[in-house]
Structure 1
């Protein structure tokens, strides 16, 4: 039987209000992420924040990497002052995921960035972000839906050739697309909804595929990892 690809997924590191009888810090990941990897044919491995110096050794053991959603990227990483509605910086996670992205790009490991993961990918490669926008969150804690249209000729368009309704929950987005990346999908209001790199298999999506039933993007990552 062929080897099943091992897909690492970055996690939150948060104080848990309740963890059985405990109140303590916990490495957390919404279950939609590992389930999506599993449904697409991969094995999911959680990657809690660690020393950035260990990122290359971590990525060397993976067949693919997913950088998950979460808190806003620290604006200092792209030379901006924080907007009043930007989250407090999650510097430990920023440092770890930046190192993971660098390691995956250097090693040619297939990489998928989801929401924050796409935004951080853009920042790592020299792009910037819009720190606040309206219309892409239905209500606090509630995912919305909107239509994403692929850019013809891109990798994303080869996976999802038609306009598709996707689960969305974000208030930040790509502003200046980084050198080496191209925009490969847009929302109806023009927001960049996907970016990709022609070198290797690197894709970022602004929405949350783990909250939906469309396996095409994750299945393509797992196939690339094979």
Structure 2
């Protein structure tokens, strides 16, 4: 019997695996766990990683098992606000949706991921979760704080208008993010009604909006990649070189993490 396998077949290397926590959504009387494609696309296309989606509705009993399977953690935006009781405030936005299952999953997830040395990337709600997980708090109504701008989108307009670049963020000089971007300011979109008030333990700002609102944060004392951004770099990332750089940097950190834990990435 002939055998076409010559032994020279090239197998693709194992890609880093990145944990993404899902959120709750109700549809026609059924409870769903969801993740928007726009968040996954640049993780696959530019970070070169494989997403592992974790439901948040079953608690944290399996959290360590999830983390043992991955090389990074990516916490995304969502339409819900973090429960303000988790940072010591009463709820000032009762009309806004909450997702307490996600809160109860993501905050310990972030702390455990940091303890394991896993790269961590947070977008919008994900950046806010990073701050709250480390003891920080939030402006629940950024648009009512004296001296600050209204950073919300006009939700009556098409998505392309909502996600259009609307203001600049100034990068903190002499930081790795400023070096990565290669310039002092970058244009960003803005779709958030809440923002960081007090930074959590160990966090430092990497960028500010024109009114001083914190737009990017990191943990300078952590060896692994840590980044939270308040804007949405995932939106049409292929058309935005700044977004591509962010996802490529996160992907590189996840590959390094995989190599540290597994040696050379083995073919599968």
Query: Considering the TM-score relative to the shorter chain, is it more than 0.5?
Result: yes
> How many pairs align?
221
2:22–2:33 contact (8 Å) kept in structure 1: yes
The aligned residue for residue 229 of structure 2 is 205
The match for 2:213 is 191
What residue number does 1:131 align with? 140
Counterpart of 1:217 in structure 2 is 246
Q: Per-residue deviation at 1:9?
A: 1.5
- Normalising by structure 2, we get a TM-score of 0.78
Return the offset for 1:158. 2.6
CA contact under 8 A between 1:128 and 1:178: conserved in structure 2?
yes
Structure-to-structure mapping, 1:26-105, within 5 angstroms: 26-40=32-46, 41-49=48-56, 50-70=58-78, 71-84=80-93, 87-105=96-114
| Cα distance in 2 between the residues matched to 1:209 and 1:48 | 23
Quote how far apart the aligned CAs of 1:101 are: 0.5
Counterpart CA distance in 1 for 2:97 and 2:27 is 18
- My pick for the range that moved more, 111-120 or 165-174, is 165-174
Partners of 1:166 and 1:212 within 8 A in 2: no
2:153·2:192 contact (CA, 8 Å) conserved in 1?
no
* Unaligned ranges ≥5, structure 2: 1-11, 144-149, 238-242, 256-268
Where structure 1 has 5 or more consecutive residues not aligned to the other structure, the ranges are: 18-22
Q: Deviations over 1:32-69 (max 9, x none)?
A: 11101011111122222132122121111111110111
> Are 1:180 and 2:202 an aligned pair?
yes
Bigger radius of gyration among the two: 2
- 1:103-152 CA-to-partner distances (Å, cap 9, x unmatched) read 11110110001101100110111111110123212312633422112111
CA separation in 2, counterparts of 1:217 and 1:36?
10
The CA distance in 1 between the partners of 2:36 and 2:164, in whole Å, is: 17
Give yes or no for the alignment of 1:147 onto 2:153. Answer: no
Distance in 1 of aligned mates of 2:153 and 2:96:
18
Cα 1:35/1:88, change in 2 over 3 Å: closer
The answer for the alignment partner of 2:122 in structure 1 is 113
Structure with greater strand percent: 1
Deviates more, 1:216-225 or 1:149-158: 149-158
Asked if 1 retains the 8 angstrom alpha-carbon contact of 2:23 and 2:35, the reply is yes
Structure 2 contact 107–132 (Cα < 8 Å) conserved: no
* Residue 87 (structure 1) shift: 2.6
TM-aligned CA deviation for residue 86 of structure 1: 6.3
Q: TM-score, normalised by structure 1?
A: 0.91
| SS of structure 1 residue aligned to 2:129 | helix
- How big is the shift at 1:91? 1.2
RMSD: 1.7
